[in-house]
Amino acid sequence: IPAEAWKKLGDAKWPNLQEVDLYCCFLENGAGAAEALQAVASACPSLTKLNLYACREIPAEAWKKLGDAKWPNLQEVDLLYCFQENGAGAAEALQAVASAGPSLKKL
């Protein structure tokens, strides 16, 4: 997905969206990751599942976009292979997950 396409999510509001699956969307290229993560963080208050499996090219700066996320119903997060080759951004990702909500069951 081209970076320009991710920018279209800027004003998105999905109050009932429960699952976001970005499986391998940023496997080869991190362009647009900041916009995607910002949209997930701000537009999905009912999120229960977030799959970022193998999104290993998300830049460290983009992970910070999850910092203000409030997901009280979040139960499952998949970050497998996101930091396999580079740990940049791992602290920000884990901090966002840790502070997002009390319902987490699977990480």
Determine the Cα–Cα distance for residues 79 and 102; give it in Å rounded to an integer: 18
Confidence tier at 101 by pLDDT (50, 70, 90):
confident
pLDDT tens digits, 53-94: 999 999 999 999 998 898 999 999 999 999 998 899 999 999
pLDDT for 98: 87
Helix (H, G, I), strand (E, B) or coil at 8: helix
Instruction: Judge if pTM exceeds 0.85.
Output: yes
Burial class of residue 8 (count of CB atoms within 10 Å of its CB; 0-12, 13-18, 19+): exposed
Distance of CA 40 to the CA centre of its chain: 6
C-alpha 99/C-alpha 11 separation (Å) is 24
